């Protein structure tokens, strides 16, 4: 089990945490126009109130734990003078609500990522919510680790995360080329497990995109899901206030502004399907999942025709197996979408066809060193058993997490300022 250590925000001194209940157990096709993959469209379109409004929690089990974490964080949210305790090395990223800086703790010498949420656009409740959800999910080895540090300044609410030294997934996807299949699969596997973990905790991320997948190496041996600022309980009623980006599922893209919708895991599954496409091709499959989008329209026609229907142009590079997986991830009807974890069983077959080949690549070999699907399944099952329960066996959980990390290691933006062109 991940050990959570709390630090005193003013001294940087480690605080022993013995009370387990306080410890979080955490880019059209041939009409030749182009889609621009830009970093961070969602944030530009998203209205501040989307993050600030929070819906009622549907049940009283996991939410109880989160309430407790929020309460604990609220009670300890001291005002801190940043420069006194932290040396800012550089800015790691910027979002609608604030920024993320790489800092070094002056006393402990620890490098960490501080996420600053501007008080003008984020209220305390939203901050505590993002913080506690991140903390709650961070025992998962494929979710960014939290350092148990949260404080405030006059301008910002701040929390600390482990520093992902290789940046985010968006930065390493070569536009119009994509990542090598082996790398894309390695990354996809870890994101699938992270999604399965948080879905099993009844949470929906709601902002799955390459910018929110953080990297510890550029070969994607170790990647972690981050940014739980939009996360919500499955089943929670929310209003459609987010902007539409390629990752936005059709039921959300096509909902009327301010129409009420129910948060569902299938939203993440759709976004994950689009993320996989982007990772493998360096392109977006469409600009938006709207009937007015020609790429989406063509995809939809293919989806709805019984196979074998002609495959849309930008999808012809994929093997039958990969197409089958995409069909299930990107089903226009949310209930027909598969689970993110279903991708795990498809990792053994080749996803992309050799260039110039129209052949079925069904017999292509699996990624060397990739754990067989049964092992992935076992890993998922083990992680699901992780709880915050004080009754949990710490030693056993620690061993489980170590095994999980070994499994990964042995396995083999959208921003207007810096456009990256991505064609489909």
Which residue's structure tokens are 């990792």?
Answer: 347
Q: Which of 6, 26, 35, 40 binds ligand ATP (CB under 6 A)?
A: 40
Q: Binding to ligand ATP by residue 95, rule CB under 6 A?
A: yes
Shortest distance in whole angstroms from residue 118 CB to ligand ATP:
9
* Partner whose footprint covers residue 93, from Mg ion, ligand ATP, none (CB < 5 to 8 Å by kind): ligand ATP
Instruction: Verify binding: residue 96, ligand ATP, rule CB under 6 A.
Output: yes
Contact status: 115 vs ligand ATP (CB under 6 A): yes
Instruction: Give residues 123-182 in contact with ligand ATP (rule: CB under 6 A).
Output: 144, 161, 163-164, 167-168
Q: Which of 2, 9, 43, 386 touches ligand ATP (CB under 6 A)? A: 43
Please name which of 151, 150, 13 lies closest in space to residue 79, comparing C-alpha atoms. 151
The answer to whether residue 207 is catalytic is yes
Number of residues that bind Mg ion (CB under 5 A): 2
Q: How far is CA 324 from CA 273, 300, 332, in A?
A: 12, 14, 14
What span, in angstroms and rounded, lies between the C-alpha atoms of 186 and 278? 14
> In the complex, what is the shortest distance from the CB of residue 162 to ligand ATP, in angstroms, rounded to a whole number?
6
**Rounded to the nearest 5 degrees, what angle is found at the Cα of 391, between the Cα atoms of 390 and 395?**
95
Nearest residue to 226 via CA among 102, 334, 140: 140
If binding is defined by CB under 5 A, does position 268 make contact with Mg ion?
Answer: no
**Contact with ligand ATP (CB under 6 A) among 211, 367, 397, 400:** 211
Minimum gap (Å) between residue 215 Cβ and ligand ATP: 8
Paired strand residues for 102? 90, 113
Contact 117, 6 (CB under 8 A): no
Beta bridge partners of 39: 414
| 120, 147, 277, 314, 348 from 354: Cα distances, Å | 51, 44, 16, 15, 16
26, 212, 248, 352: which one binds Mg ion (CB under 5 A): 212
Q: What ranges in 217-351 are assigned the alpha helix state H? A: 250-253, 265-281, 294-304, 320-329
State which of positions 213-272 bind ligand ATP (CB under 6 A): 214, 226-227, 229
- Which residue's CB is nearer to ligand ATP, number 47 or number 297? 47
Rounded to whole angstroms, the Cα distance separating 131 from 406 reads 27
For residues 117 and 263, which CB has a smaller minimum distance to Mg ion in the complex? 117
Strands 223-225, 232-233: parallel, antiparallel or unpaired by DSSP? unpaired
Interface with ligand ATP (CB under 6 A), residue from 7, 62, 72, 93? 93
Q: Which of 207, 227, 264, 293 is catalytic?
A: 207
How far apart (Å, rounded) are the C-alpha atoms in residues 308 and 347?
Answer: 23
What is the rounded distance in angstroms from the CA atom of residue 295 to the CA atom of residue 298? 5
132 binds, among Mg ion, ligand ATP, none (CB under 5 to 8 A by kind): none
- 97 binds ligand ATP, rule: CB under 6 A: yes
Cα separation values, 24 from 10, 184, 388, Å: 22, 30, 6
Question: Which one of the spans 94-102, 135-143, 252-260, 389-397 is the region binding ligand ATP (CB under 6 A)?
Answer: 94-102
Site string for Mg ion, 225-264 (x = CB under 5 A): --x-------------------------------------
Structure tokens at 234: 């499955």
Q: Where are the alpha helices (DSSP H) in 32-123?
A: 41-45, 48-52, 62-75, 82-85
Question: Per CB under 6 A, does 92 bind ligand ATP?
Answer: yes
Catalytic residues: 207
Q: Which residues bind ligand ATP (CB under 6 A)?
A: 40, 43, 92-93, 95-98, 100, 113, 115, 144, 161, 163-164, 167-168, 207, 211-212, 214, 226-227, 229
């Amino acid at each position: 089990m991940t050990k959570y250590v709390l630090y005193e925000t003013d001294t940087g001194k480690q605080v022993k945490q013995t009370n387990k209940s306080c410890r979080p157990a955490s880019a059209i096709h041939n009409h030749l126009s182009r889609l621009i993959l830009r970093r961070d469209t969602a944030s530009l379109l998203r209205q501040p109130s989307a993050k600030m409004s929070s819906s009622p929690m549907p049940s009283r089990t996991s939410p109880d734990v989160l309430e407790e974490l929020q309460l604990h964080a609220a009670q300890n949210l001291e005002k801190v003078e940043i420069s006194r305790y932290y040396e800012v090395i550089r800015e790691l990223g910027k979002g609608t609500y604030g920024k993320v800086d790489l800092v070094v703790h002056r006393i402990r010498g620890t490098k960490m990522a501080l996420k600053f949420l501007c008080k003008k656009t984020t209220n305390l409740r939203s901050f505590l919510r993002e913080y506690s959800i991140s903390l709650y999910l961070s025992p998962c080895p494929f979710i960014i680790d939290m350092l148990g540090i949260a404080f405030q300044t006059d301008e910002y609410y701040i929390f600390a995360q482990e520093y992902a030294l290789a940046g985010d997934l968006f930065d390493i996807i070569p536009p119009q080329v994509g990542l090598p299949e082996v790398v894309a699969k390695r990354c996809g596997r870890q994101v699938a497990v992270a999604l399965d973990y948080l879905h099993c905790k009844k949470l929906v991320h709601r902002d799955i995109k390459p910018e929110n997948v953080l990297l510890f190496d550029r070969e994607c041996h170790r990647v972690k899901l981050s940014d739980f600022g939009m996360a919500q309980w499955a089943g929670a009623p929310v209003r459609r206030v987010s902007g539409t980006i390629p990752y936005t599922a059709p039921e959300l893209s096509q909902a009327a502004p301010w129409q009420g919708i129910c948060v569902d895991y299938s939203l993440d599954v759709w976004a994950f399907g689009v993320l996989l496409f982007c990772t493998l091709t360096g392109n977006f499959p469409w600009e938006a999942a709207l009937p007015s989008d020609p790429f989406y329209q063509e995809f939809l026609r293919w989806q709805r025709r019984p196979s074998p229907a002609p495959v849309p142009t930008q999808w012809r590079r994929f093997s039958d197996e990969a197409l089958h997986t995409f069909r299930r991830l990107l089903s226009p009807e949310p209930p027909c979408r598969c689970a993110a974890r279903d991708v795990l069983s498809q990792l053994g077959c080749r996803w992309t066809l050799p260039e110039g080949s129209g052949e079925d690549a069904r017999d292509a070999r699996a990624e060397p060193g990739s754990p067989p699907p049964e092992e992935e399944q076992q890993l998922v099952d083990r992680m699901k058993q992780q709880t915050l329960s004080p009754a949990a066996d710490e030693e056993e959980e620690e061993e489980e997490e170590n095994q999980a990390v070994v499994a990964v290691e042995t396995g083999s933006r959208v921003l207007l300022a810096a456009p990256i062109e991505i064609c489909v």
